[in-house]
Structure 1
Amino acid sequence: MAKETLLKPLIPFGWLRTILFLLVYLGAILLLGFLQLDFYSLYSLICIATVLLFLVFTRYIDRVNLVDTGFTWTGFEKHAAAGFSLAIAILGAGTCFLVAVGQLNWMEVQFNGQSFALSFGLMLMVAFAEEMVFRGYVLRNLRESTSPIAALLVSAALFAIFHGANPGSNWLALVNVFIAGILLGINYSFTKNLWFGIALHFAWNFFQGPVLGYEVSGLDIPSILTQSIGKNVLLTGGSFGFEGSLVNTILCLLAIGILAVVYWKQYQIKLPLSRESGSEV
């Protein structure tokens, strides 16, 4: 059982807490962007600042225990394994398809232990930081102000907007990041637990970039496999990586459909169209 809320939130409206949090979060990212740091140092610092910001808002604005934000591990190990496996399944199926139609091949294999370790650590931090922000804070607080379905859609849209400035971004890439936001958040909508999303997010970024050689949301990261992609950007995703591919769109929508059916049967409920009981007006 999760611990009870310590006190009433300092700010009574979930949507207002969400706006304030995102403004501070965006401001922190912009300020850190002015620092003359290398790629790994900059993104590591952003992740650390994000976690600290999450902890401060959760404790002093929301006034809830950390466990109440979705970090209960016991009983959710299978959810984490499912998220991790799903990421590999989607990437594996999509990559096999691109190879089969001649839109992807690998030129060489190279392994740099230092780069690999740095990428592993960075992808792990990014997964934790972004899931804390968009599921652990934004989705959780929006659920108090609107229906779970609306909260999921809005949190996914915000997730896409915050990726809009990434290199190689285009309309399909943003649509796919929006769909990814739904995929990452659908488990939380039923379980209020973050481990499925964290595991999926980490496996997705890590195997997509440092292993298979795709760009990760437009970011070029050192990888074991060096790719040569075809000219059909609609299929390959171009410079944004597999996340900008129509293949990814289809596979992620299929995954969302399957998860929705499984969760509705497993929990024997449908997401209500109104706010959760006990939320503020």
Structure 2
Amino acid sequence: MQTVSPLETAFEQIEAEGQALPLPPRLAHLYGRLAFPPAPEKHPYIISNFVETLDGVAVAHANGKSLDISGGNEHDHMVMGLLRACVDAVIVGAGTLRDAPEHRWTPDYIYPPLASEYHQLRQQLGQTTQPLNVIVSSSGNVDLSLPLFHEATISSVLITTAQGKAHLQQQSLPPTLHLLVASEHGPLQARTIVETLSRWQRCQRILIEGGPQLMGRFMAEQLIDELFLTLAPQLAGRDANESRPGFVANQLFLPSDPRWGELLSLKRAGSYLFLRYRFA
């Protein structure tokens, strides 16, 4: 089966990345080497993945619909699938779910041509068939009729507050969904989210895929170990009617508490850049 061309590696800090994952030959050919340090004893290793435009827009809407920032780029989808394939859980906020109501946060959903390779990698890593899909909502304002919650092959968790749980229980709870109460009231802190999930299921690696408010909380609490950032070669623009945030929102770091990343790798496919940073 024909898939995308291999990514071109322009820079890679190999010696600092840890032990290489056992990528199937096809994935190794397309992406190259992928390695992560072992997870710390007390908490998972947390990575994040976003795509942004040249002018820093990560989320944009038009006519009530979320726009695809990557323009449907296959290389971006391939990398997204690879990252999902090597984690135990993918965490997204309820806003991200509302923007993509049909989505499932699994490797094969985002890039079907490599479904067998992603499955093989998960088998090699001793993981479940699909990563756990974790939705975060303080308010419990989530439509439980969405396809994700009725997909028999995907286990999903909704982390909420006591108030959110009461709101959610007004709906019929799907059998594949587990409700976890992290606190009495919101907003939910990033560390509380991770600790609540870890008590329910031990995770070695977790992937954060958005949205910007959730990512802002994780960055503010210094829980992001690595960022995978696709830079799409387009300008989205902004105006007074729509904020169009970057991948971090509702947090102010500069000048008093900036977050600096260390570049681990730079790959490219045509005019798209694939950046990987480590954060202290």
- TM-score, normalization by structure 1: 0.24
Q: TM-score, normalised by structure 2?
A: 0.24
Structure that is richer in helix per residue: 1
Larger proportion of strand: 2
